[in-house]
Amino acid sequence: MITLHTLKDYIIKFVNSNVSSIIYFSTGSYFNTNEHNQELNTNIRHWGFKDNQQLPPFLHDFKFKNLDITILIILIDQSFNDEPPYIVSSSDNFLEKSWTISQEFSNLYLSSFGLNVIKISDKILWGDICIESQTDFNFEQLMVELCEYVSKPLSNTLLFYHEFTGSNVILLEHLIRKKTIQFNPNKICIDITRGADMSCYFNLSNPEFYPIITYDELNKLKYINPDMLTNDDKINIIVQYRKFTTGFNDNSQDSIFSKSNCNYLFQTPNEIILCFQIIKNDQVILNYVMNGILPLIRYLNVCNENKNFNLQMWGIRHLISLKNYIQNKSSIQYLDFKYTTTCLNILNHVIDNIELIEEINKNEITDNPDYNENINFLKNEIIFNLYHIMQEILINIVIKYQINVFEVDELITEFRELKDKYNMINVYKKFISKLNI
């Protein structure tokens, strides 16, 4: 039986025995036929095309078109029992009746179509949880070694990893990057939602979460990482497929990429899917502005001088999340270097000043003659920098949507001049509506 402890050896052997291959880890992907669906008031008997966590649409479609590429699927879930996993027993795909059980490993299933499926009934641990539990197996280290291996120039293997557990898998990517000497983001995709969705169930056929697999100029497998595209590439894609950005919501996605139209993806240029993914990245950033930066500016403008600042509740968490998001993305060239450096420097300065205000409130006597002067100085500096970083963020985004950057300057001026800062959100929403995203 293949276990977590022996998994690396099998994967390395698998990679070396194939000219080209794809590895897909799916954690928390046990299929429970008795799971109750409260919305439909029925028991779930099968996974639909968009729900299949063991064979997600992007892998299903790629395999259907590339039968010569061998795929290794590793399913990890404590709930697995002696029964074959859903992907093997299901009659819902073209792999039906193609399976045999390996004579060497009882939990390895082989398809005549070139799919190997390993089922592991275990719990994975990584990060601080791994350290605290003092487990004898470090899954994080396994992923570090595998990422190093597939990132080698001569390797023709792609690695995909996702946890259907509601955990923040993008953090695992961050930890792995810190430990790897080489990490090729066009060969490795950890978290197929790229930090946009941490739920256990989501529409896997949604173009936002549909990794694109193609070939590079040397005819080697390549994952088109949207974060690796240059800003010019992003602009060209969005402009060329502008019509697909109109009415971008869950309903429109389902109508285009539904199970009944699953072959639509075969006929759809990769750029259309990338268009959705680029927009999703921008939506995440814009959301940080609305829920982090704007409330903090508003709070600092309306609070009384001698009021105890509770800045942790008014945006600092969003600012730290924004900082981490930009740091993760910038390491794979998501943002222009100058823009990234500027944003991170400003964010660090703002966060430092916020912590300084809280320190002053905690330790100084508020009737100290210098108290108000110190607080007001820090408060005004924070507001100034928050406007600055918002301006940098919006300019970087709007140029992709053919919006004149001067409109960003006008928006910031309008924000500054607003007497009622509670109107900032409405003004912001009106501005963002011009992007049609």
**Hey, is 43 helix, strand or coil?**
strand
- With respect to residue 233, please indicate whether it lies within any of the assigned structural domains: no
What integer pLDDT is reported at residue 129 of this predicted model?
A: 66
Q: Which residue among 181, 202, 224 closes a domain?
A: 224
- With respect to residue 263, please indicate whether it lies within any of the assigned structural domains: no
Same domain, 104 and 187: yes
Q: What DSSP string describes 110-125?
A: EETTTEEEEEE-----
Q: Which residue among 207, 224, 241 closes a domain?
A: 224
DSSP state of 96: T
User: What is the distance between the alpha carbons of residues 291 and 192, in angstroms, rounded to a whole number?
Assistant: 24
- With respect to residue 269, please indicate whether it lies within any of the assigned structural domains: no
What integer pLDDT is reported at residue 263 of this predicted model?
A: 42
What integer pLDDT is reported at residue 302 of this predicted model?
A: 75
- With respect to residue 109, please indicate whether it lies within any of the assigned structural domains: yes
- With respect to residue 270, please indicate whether it lies within any of the assigned structural domains: no
- With respect to residue 258, please indicate whether it lies within any of the assigned structural domains: no
Same domain, 85 and 208: yes
Number of CB atoms found within 10 A of residue 166's CB: 12
Same domain, 292 and 210: no
Backbone dihedral region for residue 28 (phi beyond 0: left; psi -120 to 50: alpha; all else: beta): left
What pairs with residue 23 in β-bridges? 72, 159
Same domain, 219 and 289: no
Which token pair is 42? 């029925």
Same domain, 176 and 37: yes
- With respect to residue 254, please indicate whether it lies within any of the assigned structural domains: no
- With respect to residue 200, please indicate whether it lies within any of the assigned structural domains: yes
Same domain, 306 and 431: yes
Same domain, 219 and 282: no
Indicate the number of domains in the chain.
2
Same domain, 100 and 185: yes
HSE-up of 309 (CA within 13 Å, CB side)? 30
Same domain, 344 and 206: no
Which token pair is 194? 């790229």
Structural domain including 19 reads 7-224
* H-only helix segments in 94-195: 127-133, 139-150, 169-179
Give the pTM.
Answer: 0.80
Tens digit of pLDDT per residue, the chain (437 long)? 999 899 999 999 999 999 999 999 999 988 876 554 444 444 455 777 888 899 999 999 999 899 999 999 999 999 888 889 998 988 777 888 899 999 999 999 999 999 999 999 998 878 766 655 666 678 889 999 999 999 999 999 999 999 998 887 888 888 898 899 899 999 999 989 887 777 888 889 888 899 999 999 889 999 999 888 888 888 888 887 765 545 444 444 444 444 444 444 444 578 888 888 888 888 888 988 898 889 888 888 877 544 555 655 556 777 777 777 777 664 444 445 566 777 788 888 888 888 787 777 776 655 666 777 777 888 889 889 999 989 988 998 998 888 999 999 999 999 999 988 889 999 999 999 998 87
User: What is the distance between the alpha carbons of residues 388 and 342, in angstroms, rounded to a whole number?
Assistant: 10
Same domain, 79 and 191: yes
Same domain, 214 and 292: no
